[in-house]
Amino acid sequence: MKYHFIAIEGNIGAGKTTLAHILSKHYNARLILEQFGDNPFLANFYENPRQYAFPLELFFMAERYKQMNELVHMNDLFHSLTISDYLFTKCLLFAKVNLPDPEFRLYQKLFDIIYQQLIQPDVLIYLHAPIGKLQQNIRKRNRPYEQSISNEYLLNIQETYTGYIRQHKSRTLFIDASNADFLGNQQHLKVILDALETDIGEGPHYFTLPSEG
């Protein structure tokens, strides 16, 4: 493995954490998982987005910074690879969707200060799934505060992610995860592993997963 830091991203319910667990086990990598359940504003946000969006996003940014900042100071003798189930830029992307313009401009100033202090991933794996698939996964994992997430909200998040990927030159594996089953289908996982072991250049690189049969 030529990379030292891999981040996995995607919309709500795309399967980021599942893939992060699988890859960290395969490569014996250090695993960083987002502690979203610790955010005291999350449930309230889904009930009243306008009131709770700003403290929600500030809390997420602070927690993500705390986790990512450890990478700057860490010398891990047992793991040469770190895998995270989120990209720190996620802070800005969700804030863009959730915050009104004045609050977003303030948030972006704070983000820009923090962002410069962090190590950026060598490669981003982005899982792109249709809205129906996301809703199916959301229902399956059955987190009460997520059950009211609208298709419109998921679409806004999706468009924000894909717009970011198109505009930036970061090395990205853009995976069509419409039928993804990384736990049950070894061929799906093999697409990811082969891509990570291929010398790809900067920018997005698009991959589809084999259909059954």
165 lies in some domain = yes
Examine residue 82 and state whether it is found in any structural domain, yes or no.
Answer: yes
Q: How far apart are CA 12 and CA 49, in angstroms?
A: 16
The per-residue pLDDT for range 8-32, each reduced to its tens digit, is 999 999 999 999 999 999 999 999 9
- Structural domain includes residue 200: yes
The domain tally of the chain equals: 1
Enumerate the active-site residues: 85
Task: Tell whether 21 is covered by a domain.
Answer: yes
Residue 77's pLDDT is 53
The tokens of 78 are what? Answer: 């047992």
65: left (phi over 0), alpha (psi -120 to 50) or beta: alpha
Residue 175 lies in a domain: yes
What digits encode the pLDDT tens for the residues 107-151?
A: 999 999 999 989 899 999 999 999 999 999 999 988 888 898 999
DSSP one-letter code for 168: -
Q: Identify the pLDDT of residue 71.
A: 78
Phi, psi of 125 (to 5 degrees): -100, 115
Query: Which range of residues forms the domain containing residue 126?
Result: 5-208
Residue 213 lies in a domain: no
Residue 168 covered by a domain? yes
User: What whole-number percentage of the chain has pLDDT above 70?
Assistant: 95
Pairing status of strand 82-84 against strand 30-32:
parallel
CATH of the domain at 138: 3.40.50.300
143 Ramachandran zone, left/alpha/beta (phi>0; psi -120 to 50): beta
190 in a domain, yes or no? Answer: yes
Its pTM surpasses 0.85: yes
Q: What is the pLDDT of residues 59-82, one digit of tens each?
A: 999 999 999 988 767 666 556 899
Residue 160's pLDDT band (boundaries 50, 70, 90)?
Answer: very high
Higher pLDDT, 98 or 75: 98
Please report, rounded to a whole number, the percentage of residues in the chain having pLDDT higher than 90.
79
